[in-house]
Amino acid sequence: MTQPSDQPTPEGAFDRALAEAVVEIEDHAAEAGWDGQARLFALVDTQALAAAEPALAEALGLDAAAEGLTPVEQDLEPGQQLEQVLEQIGWPEEVAGCAVVVERLVLPPAVEGEVPEGLEEARAFAADHPDRQEVRIVAGVNRAGASWCTLRLREHDRTEDVIGGVDLVPALLALLHGTLEDEA
């Protein structure tokens, strides 16, 4: 996998703890295999979690002195549309960030003008297209505005082929950032 760099990016300061949490979630998703439903994670400060919930921290094998973020998976109802969930969710201040895992079909840019307008028609078109690629996306954000994403193609399903970056799926990242905004 492309390892995160500590160098600042034009999009904002790099956050190593966030990138490490996203990579951890990607590894976890890879162990579960393909064809899974969307997954949602709260990202909490590991030290704060260990202090607030020592029994849970012990059960999870967390080091109370460890810095970083701990992913805590949230329950999603089967069949729930992730985008709708993200538009409705707000996290309490104890949640430092959030991340999602989604699988999608992607098409080459050359066929963009051929995709039908309707959602169901577009899905059917993508599913039947010979040049489609299946991709697993893990995207995470934090309250400071940082983001990190990983992409794994089913056709190249090896850890060393996973790519990472701060702005690989802008629309999904915008939805995630929206879940962390304070209600005015």
DSSP assigned state of 114: G
Residue 70, pLDDT score? 94
Residue 13, pLDDT score? 61
Beta bridge partners of 43: 71, 97
* Nearest-angstrom CA–CA distance, 3 and 20: 9
* Nearest-angstrom CA–CA distance, 156 and 49: 36
Residue 11, pLDDT score? 47
**1 compared with 39, residue with greater pLDDT:** 39
pLDDT at 105 over 50: yes
Residue 80, pLDDT score? 83
Q: Where are the alpha helices (DSSP H) in the chain?
A: 16-32, 46-52, 54-60, 82-88, 119-128, 170-179
* Nearest-angstrom CA–CA distance, 14 and 34: 29
Residue 8, pLDDT score? 40
CA-based end-to-end distance of the chain? 40
Q: pLDDT by residue (tens digit) across 106-151?
A: 877 888 888 888 878 877 887 888 888 899 999 999 999 999 999 9
pLDDT at 9 over 60: no
Confidence class for position 6, pLDDT limits 50, 70, 90: very low
Residue 109, pLDDT score? 81
Residue 176, pLDDT score? 96
Q: pLDDT by residue (tens digit) across 33-83?
A: 999 999 999 999 999 998 888 888 888 888 877 889 999 999 988 878 888
Residue 64, pLDDT score? 76
Residues 6 or more apart whose Cβ sits within 8 Å of residue 182: none
Q: 94 burial class (0-12, 13-18, 19+ CB within 10 angstroms)?
A: exposed
Q: pLDDT by residue (tens digit) across 152-176?
A: 999 999 999 999 999 899 999 999 9
